[in-house]
Amino acid sequence: MRDWSAIILAGGKGKRLMPLTSIIPKPLVKVTNVPMVDYAIAHLVYAGIKHIILALAYMGKEMKEYIEKTWTPDRLGDVELECEIQHSKGTADAYRLLTDQIDSENVAVSMADIVTNLPMKRFMDFHIEKGGISTVSMKTVESHISQYGVVLLDKNRKIYLFLEKPAPMELYLSSMAQREDLFLHTNIINTGIYCFKKDLGEILHETGLMDFGGEVFPYLLENKFDLYGFVENYYWMDAGNSTTYLWANWDMLRKYAWPILPNGVEYDGIYIMGIINSGQNIRIDKPTCFGEYVSLSNRVKIKELTSIGNNVTIGEDTLIEKSVIWDEIKIGAGCIITESVICNNCEIGENVVLERAIIAPNCRISDNSQIRDRSIELGQEI
């Protein structure tokens, strides 16, 4: 029997990320020209896990086709990667449906729609060392407690209380714990990556619990199972809406998620995947990244924290800053684009101003348009 296998939860629709997810599932949304699901797979492969199952649901067929095309046996080596399309009713239910395919003593569960440099091998070793049925990855945050949750830990990181987005009364009651060796943390977030003993599968089949955070962990604590929290300061970002999606791209370019880096070869803070055709008096600031077959006309300015995808043409005198440009895009001359996202197969006219704008796939924006602080839905012509 293997020591480890892993499940990647990759079935979500990405509703909060609309309209970026109008025609693709959230795990295929690119951060610095790499789909988020690729980061999740690479994270587990790098940790030495040899058997990985992707739990697919929404647009599962398209997801499976992408995975099988991208993660070939030559790339995977001795790693076995499977895709299973299922109709689960929650995170724990997705795990339960795959228990017959798990042949390891321990199972790591990750997500396909986050970017993180969680030290996965150290997390797994911590789980083995503590010997509990489950270990939850956590990190401290600087935010109001109502947005996240609270956890009561002892000095050995054993969890005694686990509340997600607690009500004030729950927080008050939890703070009354009298044991001096318990520490109440009100600024710790559950980052959604877990380690389990294989025994969890039996519990899920017996109880029918559907969700890890809301049901499984409270059940384990109530029934005196040992549950531990792995708390370290690492990078983690849930690119769940257009704002945090931009942040994830900016953070990757700033190397906050090191050793995870943008796709391409780095030239002093500028990452390039392929050919760039450029005119005269081009200005490219760092950090920025470029896909393949990018064409920059005369006097184009690509300023810091900009990610540009594949097959992109940018007209003369256009300035782009802190923005994410996807693939198959034509941008006209004299445009100013700041803190915006332009999705696949869009055409932007001349002298267009985009400021904190989200342009869905297949849109056409006419000359001299000004779009600020709003989203343009799929296929619109403005």
pTM of the model: 0.92
Instruction: Report the alpha-carbon distance of residue 57 to residue 84 in Å, rounded.
Output: 8
Contacts (Cβ under 8 Å, ≥6 apart) of 353: 335, 336, 337, 369, 370, 371, 372
Joined tokens for residue 125: 């070793």
Q: What is the pLDDT of residue 169?
A: 45
Joined tokens for residue 164: 């997600």
Inside any domain, residue 294: yes
Q: What is the pLDDT of residue 2?
A: 87
Q: What is the pLDDT of residue 14?
A: 87
Tally of residues, the chain:
382
Question: What is the CATH number for 328?
Answer: 2.160.10.10
Element containing residue 110 per DSSP (H, E): strand 104-111
Q: What is the pLDDT of residue 12?
A: 84
Inside any domain, residue 330: yes
Contact 356, 339 (CB under 8 A): yes
Instruction: Report the alpha-carbon distance of residue 365 to residue 353 in Å, rounded.
Output: 10
User: Given CA atoms 62, 51, 208, 135 in this order, what sign does their dihedral have?
Assistant: negative
Q: What is the pLDDT of residue 317?
A: 98
Instruction: Report the alpha-carbon distance of residue 313 to residue 325 in Å, rounded.
Output: 11
Inside any domain, residue 139: no
> Among 143, 177, 153, which residue's Cα sits nearest to residue 227?
153
Inside any domain, residue 231: no
Joined tokens for residue 133: 């049925």
Inside any domain, residue 354: yes
Which three-class secondary structure state does DSSP give residue 178?
coil
Contact 315, 298 (CB under 8 A): no
Inside any domain, residue 278: yes
Question: Which residues of the chain register pLDDT less than 70?
Answer: 143-150, 163-186
> Total structural domains in the chain?
1
Instruction: Report the alpha-carbon distance of residue 111 to residue 141 in Å, rounded.
Output: 19
Q: What is the DSSP string of 13-56?
A: --GGGTTTTSSS-GGG-EETTEEHHHHHHHHHHHTT--EEEEEE
Contact 349, 369 (CB under 8 A): yes
Inside any domain, residue 204: no
Contact 342, 360 (CB under 8 A): no
Q: What is the pLDDT of residue 172?
A: 46
Contacts (Cβ under 8 Å, ≥6 apart) of 301: 282, 283, 285, 318, 319, 320, 321
- Name residue, tokens 């020209």: 33
Q: What is the pLDDT of residue 181?
A: 63
Which three-class secondary structure state does DSSP give residue 153?
strand
H-assigned helices in the chain: 36-46, 60-70, 73-76, 91-96, 120-130, 168-174, 200-207, 217-222, 242-253
Q: What is the pLDDT of residue 1?
A: 79
Inside any domain, residue 157: no
Q: Which domain holds residue 329?
A: 262-376
Q: What is the pLDDT of residue 206?
A: 95
> Among 370, 365, 368, which residue's Cα sits nearest to residue 381?
365
